[in-house]
Structures are given as structure tokens and as C-alpha cells.
């Protein structure tokens, strides 16, 4: 038995309300169950309940056992002074207020119908399952599930927005600088994301603004700060980058001591940090107002155009500085730009709209719905239960569902779990 289940039962009044009485025999009439409180303090605020001949307005506290009131030390916490009803699974001790009057208690162990309690037990049965509802996920109504996934996607954006607003505060409200740091992390992917993020944070974005008229200068800045220009080499391009970086480092008094070292190990050549840094430099050498253009862009195709630039010629025949490879233009692929849209563009659009007090919900939904579904084991397993993920918005929402709900047994806060509990 979880206390959350009793919260659910009380919130949605999923129990028999005929002849409700307190443990001391007083009749109870629930006029309003109150507002569910997800923070500290009593579980439900502003309830209205008639107990005996008196109408009470105040809070409701819920526990498995009434003795939990003392176990949680509510008797000494002023936040619980306005509790008017103690809702419990079983009443194992009498609870008293500070003035020594008994706190009215309502037990629910004999008032919850068999179907909903049986469904609850089945949902949390202790057998090995990938997610608690996997045997019933396919039965979920399509309309309910699609609406829940849309809510989950924006919940995911809300979670990601915390980092954005922290960066915005540090940069003194410079959205271009924040975008650069987010993009750098995105270009580094999982393996080098932290390294690229630390690189982008190792100098003020004004340095990029002063160098972006010459792509090789940005190459030198990025490679130098990443510690990739520290070796001896005979190649003229490498030596030229070393010379450029030495000048840039001195001019702008740069340090890279806090930059996390990049990794090449187990990466495909197209994802080598050398290629991704060169591609990032190509974008900023060609798009000098990238933030405003991203905010103005409405479609996937417009975003693709902003990231369509090739690296400098040296990288046509190289993946790293050491050896030559078959000639190939190193432009960002549509699949990689899709990741940029998912992890950076949508997030920055959402946060900027929040800061401006605008509603860009429909625009973001349209954009993410046009991006291909992500391919990973979590999405594959969900689609194995019920073919549901058709685009990036839905795959992102399913990742949010798995991490924030399924893995934490938050079925009672999930629309899918709720639908199963109410299924008779």
C-alpha cells in the first residue's frame, strides 16, 4: 500500500460515501475534498467538510496509519494546525491536536471498491516487468495517450528550461551566448557533451562575435581551447591554426585549464570532436544572428538551412589532424540537425516564449511533430507494447514518461496508470 494511492482515492473520491462517519461515530459530508498539495505541508488545502453539525474549512492530511501523524512529528508542526480531517487506511491510534481535542479521522480500508483496489494491486504486483502497466499499456485509449504525451513533452521542456534560465542569468540576458553554449553541448553528443559545454563556457561569447568573420579563426579558437593544438606537427594547416590560436589566446587572455578533455575512443569518425568542432565553427562563421533566426524559423526546413554549412577545406580529406581520408564534404546530416532541433532549438524557443510572455505551444508542436521519431531501446520497447511514437515530440514524451514516472513508480500521477485503475 502506497500513501499515493490514498491521495488518488481522496482526490478523485473513489470510495463509497454512503453513511460516512468518523472513527468516533460523527457523520461526515464532503462538500469539497480540497486542492492537492504536491509540496510540503498538509496533503489537501482548503477542503470543506461537514462533521456532525459543524461545517469546517481547512486542510486534510492522509496517512496509511493514523500513528504516522506522530511518526512524522506533525503534532509539533504549526503547518498542520489547520487540519480538519485525518484520512487513513487504518486507525491504529487516536490523534490529538495541541489543545488536546481529538482530530477527527476517516478510515478508508472498508470503503474502497474491490475493482479499483484489485487494479491497484495488479499494477504494483512485485513481478519483473519493464514498466508496471506493460500488460495493459496497449489497452490505453489513443486519444487519452496522445494528449498525455503532449503534456509530458512540455513537462520535459519545463525541466530543461531551468538550465537555460540559469545560463541566461550568468550571461546577463545574452540569448545568443546561451544558444551557443547549448549548441556546443549538443554538438558534443553524449560522449563529448560535457567537454564541449565546458569549452563554450571557457570564454565570453564576445570572442566568437569578434572572430566569426574568418572561419579559420573560429577553428583555431575551438581546437585550441579543446587542447587539440598542443602537439608538434609538420602540416601547414595545423601550424597555421597553432599560430592563430597563440595570437587569439594572448589577445583575449584565454585559459583552457577548466575545459574537460575531449574523447575519440569508440566514436565513429563522423562524430570525432575535430569534425563536430569544425562544423560548429562553420555555422557561426556563416550565421551571425543565429538566435534571432532560430526564433523566427517556423519549419524544419528553415532550421535545416541555418545549419547547412560545410567545414573548411582541410576537413574534406581528414577526420583528425594525423592522416588523410577519402574526400568528403563534412556537412551536418539531416539526422544530426534533427537532434539539434530536439535538444536545442525547441528548448530555446520554449524558454524565450516564456520570458516574453508569449504562447508558442502550437508552433513547437508543429515543429517537433515534423521531426522523425528517435531510435533507441526505450522507444522500441514502448512501440512494442503499442505502436505510438511517430515523431520526435512523442518519442521525447515517452522518454519523460519512462524516466520520471515509470522508473519512480509514479503510476498514480500518470494518465495511463489512472485509466487502468478506473477500468472495471
Q: What is the per-residue pLDDT across 25-44, written as a single tens digit (0 to 9) for each? A: 999 999 999 999 989 999 99
Q: Measured between alpha carbons, how far is 374 from 380 in angstroms, rounded to an integer?
A: 9
Report the chain's mean pLDDT, rounded to a whole number. 95
Taking only the tens place, the pLDDT of each residue in 247-288 is: 999 999 999 999 999 999 999 999 999 999 999 999 999 999
DSSP 3-state of 349: helix
User: Which residue carries 508543429 as its cell?
Assistant: 366
Please calculate the CA angle 226-231-235 and round it to the nearest 5 degrees: 105
Kindly state the cell numbers that stand for 139.
489497452
Question: Is a pLDDT exceeding 80 seen at residue 3?
Answer: yes
What secondary structure, in 3-state letters, does 20-79 show? Answer: CECCCCCEEEEEECCEECCCCCCCEEEEEEEECCEEEEEEEEEEEECCHHHHCCHHHCHH
Q: Where are the domains of the chain?
A: 3-112, 171-369
Question: Alpha-carbon Rg of the chain, whole angstroms?
Answer: 29
> Rounded to whole angstroms, how far apart are CA atoms 142 and 265?
43
Model confidence over 55-114: pLDDT tens digits?
A: 999 999 999 999 999 999 999 999 999 999 999 999 999 999 888 889 999 999 989 877
pTM comes to 0.85
Q: Is 143 helix (H, G, I), strand (E, B) or coil?
A: helix
Confidence band of 125 (pLDDT split at 50, 70, 90): confident
- Using pLDDT thresholds of 50, 70 and 90, give the confidence band for residue 129: confident
Closest Cα partner for 94 from 108, 105, 81?
A: 105
C-alpha closest to that of 14 among 31, 33, 1, 29: 33
Inter-helix orientation angle 377-385/392-404, to 10°:
90
Amino acid at each position: 500500500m502506497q500513501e499515493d494511492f490514498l491521495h488518488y482515492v481522496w482526490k478523485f473520491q473513489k470510495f463509497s460515501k454512503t453513511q460516512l462517519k468518523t472513527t468516533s461515530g460523527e457523520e461526515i459530508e464532503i462538500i469539497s475534498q480540497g486542492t492537492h498539495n504536491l509540496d510540503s505541508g498538509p496533503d489537501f488545502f482548503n477542503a470543506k467538510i461537514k462533521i456532525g453539525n459543524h461545517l469546517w474549512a481547512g486542510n486534510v492530511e492522509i496517512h496509511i496509519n493514523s500513528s504516522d501523524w506522530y511518526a512524522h512529528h506533525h503534532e509539533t508542526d504549526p503547518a498542520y494546525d489547520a487540519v480538519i480531517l485525518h484520512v487513513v487506511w487504518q486507525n491504529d491510534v487516536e490523534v490529538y491536536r495541541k489543545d488536546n481535542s481529538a482530530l477527527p479521522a476517516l478510515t478508508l480500508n472498508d470503503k474502497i471498491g474491490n475493482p479499483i483496489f484489485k487494479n491497484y494491486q495488479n499494477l504494483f504486483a512485485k513481478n519483473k516487468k519493464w514498466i508496471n502497466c506493460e500488460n495493459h499499456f496497449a489497452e490505453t485509449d489513443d486519444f487519452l495517450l496522445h494528449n498525455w504525451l503532449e503534456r509530458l513533452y512540455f513537462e520535459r521542456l519545463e525541466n530543461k528550461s531551468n538550465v537555460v534560465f540559469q545560463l541566461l542569468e550568468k550571461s546577463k540576458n545574452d540569448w545568443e551566448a546561451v544558444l551557443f553554449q547549448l549548441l556546443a553541448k549538443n554538438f558534443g553528443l553524449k560522449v563529448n557533451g560535457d567537454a564541449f559545454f565546458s569549452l563554450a563556457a571557457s570564454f565570453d561569447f564576445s570572442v566568437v562575435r569578434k572572430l566569426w568573420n574568418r572561419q579559420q579563426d573560429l577553428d583555431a579558437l575551438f581546437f585550441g581551447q579543446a587542447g587539440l593544438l598542443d602537439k608538434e606537427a609538420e602540416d601547414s594547416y595545423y601550424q597555421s591554426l597553432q599560430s592563430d590560436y597563440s595570437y587569439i589566446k594572448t589577445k583575449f587572455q584565454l585559459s583552457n585549464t577548466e575545459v574537460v578533455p575531449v574523447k575519440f575512443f569508440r566514436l565513429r569518425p563522423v562524430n570525432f570532436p575535430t569534425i563536430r568542432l569544425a562544423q560548429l565553427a562553420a555555422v557561426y562563421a556563416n550565421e551571425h544572428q543565429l538566435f534571432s533566426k532560430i526564433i523566427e524559423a517556423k519549419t524544419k526546413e528553415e532550421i535545416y538551412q541555418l545549419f547547412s554549412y560545410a567545414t573548411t577545406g582541410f576537413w574534406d580529406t581528414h577526420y583528425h589532424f594525423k592522416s588523410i581520408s577519402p574526400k568528403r564534404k563534412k556537412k551536418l546530416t539531416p539526422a544530426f540537425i534533427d537532434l539539434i532541433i530536439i535538444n536545442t532549438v525547441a528548448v530555446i524557443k520554449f524558454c524565450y516564449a516564456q520570458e516574453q510572455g508569449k504562447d508558442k505551444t502550437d508552433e513547437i508542436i508543429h515543429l517537433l511533430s515534423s521531426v522523425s521519431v528517435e531510435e533507441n531501446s526505450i522507444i522500441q520497447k514502448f512501440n512494442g507494447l503499442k505502436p505510438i511514437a511517430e515523431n520526435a515530440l512523442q518519442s521525447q514524451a515517452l522518454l519523460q514518461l519512462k524516466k520520471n514516472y515509470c522508473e519512480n513508480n509514479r503510476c498514480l500521477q500518470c494518465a495511463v496508470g489512472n485509466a487502468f485503475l478506473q477500468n472495471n
